[in-house]
């Protein structure tokens, strides 16, 4: 493999890892944080595969195969945990889960609160079906 070609793969892998790290540190949503960790893992897998191809052996590619297998298992467990957490308290915000800390650690709160949820739009009001009776008909039947 051409060294110039290797550097392209390494740059793309580093960009994937950096974007995942920034997303993990900047976001508070559990699912977005999980996806950012997966993006970081894919950046590492790309770098390992590029180095294996550059050196002409299959060790890096075999390692990536096992890494993807472990990542699939980790994804299933993480999503199950996220669903169980969401059932107990319907919020995916990480700052809401302070009681899961180890005992003795002080609680941290974000200075910037979450924005209030927007009000849902009002439901449309449907007119009654059929023609409205006229006033003369109503008085004649009584």
CA–CA separation, 126 vs 111, rounded Å? Answer: 45
Residue 46: its pLDDT value, please? 94
- Percent of the chain past pLDDT 70, that is, above it, reads 90
Looking at the predicted structure, is the pLDDT value of residue 21 above 90?
A: yes
In CATH, the architecture of 3-95 is Orthogonal Bundle (1.10)
The pLDDT confidence band at residue 76, using thresholds 50, 70 and 90, is: very high
Beta bridge partners of 29: 93
The length of the chain is 142
**Rounded mean pLDDT, 106-124:** 80
Give the DSSP H/E element, type plus range, for residue 96: none
How far apart are the two ends of the chain, measured CA to CA in Å?
Answer: 95
Going by the DSSP 8-state scheme, the letter that residue 85 receives in this structure is: H
Residue 141: its pLDDT value, please? 57
């Amino acid at each position: 493999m051409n060294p110039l070609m290797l550097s392209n793969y390494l740059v793309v892998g580093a960009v994937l890892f950096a974007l995942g790290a920034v997303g993990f540190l900047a976001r508070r949503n559990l699912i977005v944080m999980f996806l950012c960790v997966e993006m970081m893992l894919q950046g590492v897998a790309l770098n390992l595969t590029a180095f294996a191809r550059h050196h002409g052996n299959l060790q890096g590619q075999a390692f990536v195969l096992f890494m993807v297998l472990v990542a699939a298992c980790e994804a299933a467990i993480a999503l199950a945990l996220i669903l169980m957490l969401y059932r107990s308290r319907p919020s995916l915000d990480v700052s809401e889960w302070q009681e899961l800390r180890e005992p003795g650690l002080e609680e941290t709160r974000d200075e910037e609160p979450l924005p209030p949820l927007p009000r849902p739009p009002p439901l449309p009001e449907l007119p009654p079906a059929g023609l409205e009776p006229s006033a003369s008909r109503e008085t004649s039947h009584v």
